[in-house]
Every structure is written in C-alpha cells, then in structure tokens.
Amino acid sequence: MAGERIGGQQSRGAEVSGHETGGEPTDWGSWSQSWKHHHLLGLELHSAEEIQSILDLAEKFAQASQEGRNRLTLLRGFTVANLFFENSTRTRNSFSLAAKRLGADTVEFSSAGSSTSKGETFIDTAKTIEAMGVDAVVVRHATPGTPHLLAKHLSCSVLNAGDGPHEHPTQGLLDILTIRQHRGSLKGLTVGLIGDIEHSRTARSNIWGLKKLGAHVIVCGPATLVSRRWEQLGVETSHRLDDILPRCDVLNLLRIQFERQTMRPFPSVHEYGLLYAMTKERLARSKPDVLILAPGPINRGVELTSEVADGHHSVILHQVANGISIRMAVLWLLLARRVPSESLARG
C-alpha cells in the first residue's frame, strides 16, 4: 500500500509498479535495472543507449502525467535538494516539480540569504544540506566541474543543473527529446546551434547527445564565439547563418551570455541581431518544416524576434514541458536502486 508506515518511519518508494488513476500499469522498476550510474554529471559520460533510455522513460512519465497521474509515489520518503548558486527559472522549478511529481520532498537552497555569506565553504554547505537526510543534490554553479567535485565529497546522487560553460545535461536531454518528438529520430538530421557557443553549457551537452544519436551538428556564430577548435568534437563550424539556414532541420538559438564574457565579442547587440537573429525573413529562407528551439532565457530582439518565438515553428514551450519529464526520468534512474526491494516486489 502506498505510503504505509513501517516502525514509525514512512516507507520509501511505494507504488513502484502501479498507477493511481486508470491506464495500464507501468513497471517503473524495470526501467532502472540496467542503470549503472550514481550521478548525472554530463552527457559526455553517457552512451547513446543510456541517452535513448532516458528519453524513452521521460516519454513514459509524460504519458503518465497526461493520463492524470501527476502524483506518482515512486520516490515517497526521498528528499531532493536544489542547490542553486546561479539564478534559474526553468531548471530549478522543473527539477522541483519533477521531484514532487515522483512523490519526493524537496529542499530549496539559494546562495543568496544562506550562511555562505558568513564564510562557510561550498563543500561544508553541501555536506550540511546532505546531513538533513537528502538523497539527491541538484547543483548549479558558475564554476565548471563543481558537480564533479561534489560527487567526490557526498554520498548522495549529484545532478548537474549547469556548471559554468561546461555542461547542462538535462537541458541537452530535453532539447533532444523535443526534436525526437517532432521528427521521430535524430539520425541524419542537421541541427544548427546558433549564437554564443563559446560560453554555452547547453551547446556542449547538445553536441555530446546529438552526435551520439546520429545528428549532424553545425555551430554558428561570430568568430569570437565560435572557433575552429569546436571541430575537434566532430561538429561543423560556420560564421554565416544565412549560408547554413537552408540545410538545417533544427535551429537551437542560444543566448548571448554577457555575464560570462570578459570582453565584448561583437561591436553591438544591433550588429549581432543583423547577422544572427532569427527573423521571419530568415525563416522564409529556411526549410519549410524547420524547428525553432531556444533553451532560454530568451531575449526577444537579440537571438530571435517575437514573431519567430511565438510562431508555429517554435517549440520553445514544448522544451519547457519536456524538462519536467526528463528530470523525472533522471531522478528515477539515479534513485530507484535505493527503493527497498520489498517495495519493488509489491508491484
């Protein structure tokens, strides 16, 4: 029975194979059986099969939500902590919702207003949160490698919610899921990543994931933000959006990350817009069924115009919705092994 109490403690991981309203029962436990990882640090570290498996499980969770099963109890008794040392709207809220939709409790930590201002170190802060009985820590930090450092110091699972310009694995996964939903497969597609590639963790995670699933990737932007060394990752580079437009099945428009730049990479935002903003005129010269993605936050009039952001090629809000099911999938894959076997057997 979901949520039964054993010896005064709430049981963990109820309803592993069940559902709460209607539909065929899903054997959620079977999805995690071959999962080997304790952390989600970056898509560089995952195989094509693992990435496909996360996408497939995310589809199952999305389907469960559509069927009205917004409150699964798979992770009842578990706690997920959000440790955000940088601002976030999408990632933080969707990790929080994902955890809640799996039945977990959440802890919300922001560096602003915390005891870090009194000199407590990052590791001590994370260990303090973990000591409150946390099973997974979701971390965003401006310094690349921060989640990897935490993974060495904590026993619980660590999920990278963006480490500086390095990786943003759940963003890469939700972008790829959105493309797969609209195109069926990634194999053979040409995906253009446009904008500030140099400072983009989303670009890196997309490149790892897209390449592993068989897409051709073009990174395009000003020469100061797109160097030839990206070709070492197996992608094509371009500085001329107008040249690559007719070849792209998907355009993912990345934000200019002024906060990570030490010097201005182009003369003006106006000039950037003239050369790289997605406009209705550029849309008219693109493939008729081109998909427009943007990880956000979007800056209307810089990476894209409002007509494009709100037009029928745009799947920007689908990306946001997919973020929840992707994060449910990764939380379940990382934590399912801690669900007591009697709960798994109950299904």
Residues that bind ligand CP (CB under 6 A): 88-91, 162, 168, 171, 295-297
Residue with tokens 């079977």: 30
**Could you give the CA distance from residue 114 to residue 173 in angstroms, rounded to a whole number?**
31
CB of 170 to ligand CP, least distance (A): 9
SS (H, E, C) the chain: CCCCEECCEECCCCCCCCCCCCCCCCCHHHHCCCCCCCCECCHHHCCHHHHHHHHHHHHHHHHHHHCCCCCCCCCCCCEEEEEECCCCCHHHHHHHHHHHHCCCEEEEEECCCCHHHHCCCHHHHHHHHHCCCCCEEEEEECCCCHHHHHHHHCCCEEEEEEECCCCCHHHHHHHHHHHHHHHCCCCCCEEEEECCCCCCHHHHHHHHHHHHCCCEEEEECCCCCCCHHHHHHCCEEECCHHHHHHHCCEEEECCCCHHHCCCCCCCCHHHHHHHHCECHHHHHCCCCCCEEECCCCCCECCCECHHHHCCCCECHHHHHHHHHHHHHHHHHHHHHHHCCHHHHHHC
CB of 99 to ligand CP, least distance (A): 15
Q: Of 221 and 295, which CB lies nearer to ligand CP in the complex structure? A: 295
CB of 171 to ligand CP, least distance (A): 5
**Could you give the CA distance from residue 274 to residue 95 in angstroms, rounded to a whole number?**
36
Q: Of 65 and 88, which CB lies nearer to ligand CP in the complex structure? A: 88
Q: Of 188 and 297, which CB lies nearer to ligand CP in the complex structure? A: 297
10 Å CB burial of residue 171 (0-12, 13-18, 19+) is buried
Q: Of 159 and 344, which CB lies nearer to ligand CP in the complex structure? A: 159
CB of 295 to ligand CP, least distance (A): 4
CB of 314 to ligand CP, least distance (A): 15
Q: Cβ distance 249 to 238 under 8 Å? A: no
Q: Of 32 and 319, which CB lies nearer to ligand CP in the complex structure? A: 319
CB of 92 to ligand CP, least distance (A): 6
Q: Cβ distance 330 to 61 under 8 Å? A: no
Q: Of 168 and 216, which CB lies nearer to ligand CP in the complex structure? A: 168
Q: Of 26 and 319, which CB lies nearer to ligand CP in the complex structure? A: 319
Q: Of 13 and 147, which CB lies nearer to ligand CP in the complex structure? A: 147
Q: Of 159 and 244, which CB lies nearer to ligand CP in the complex structure? A: 159
CB of 252 to ligand CP, least distance (A): 11
CB of 304 to ligand CP, least distance (A): 15
CB of 162 to ligand CP, least distance (A): 6
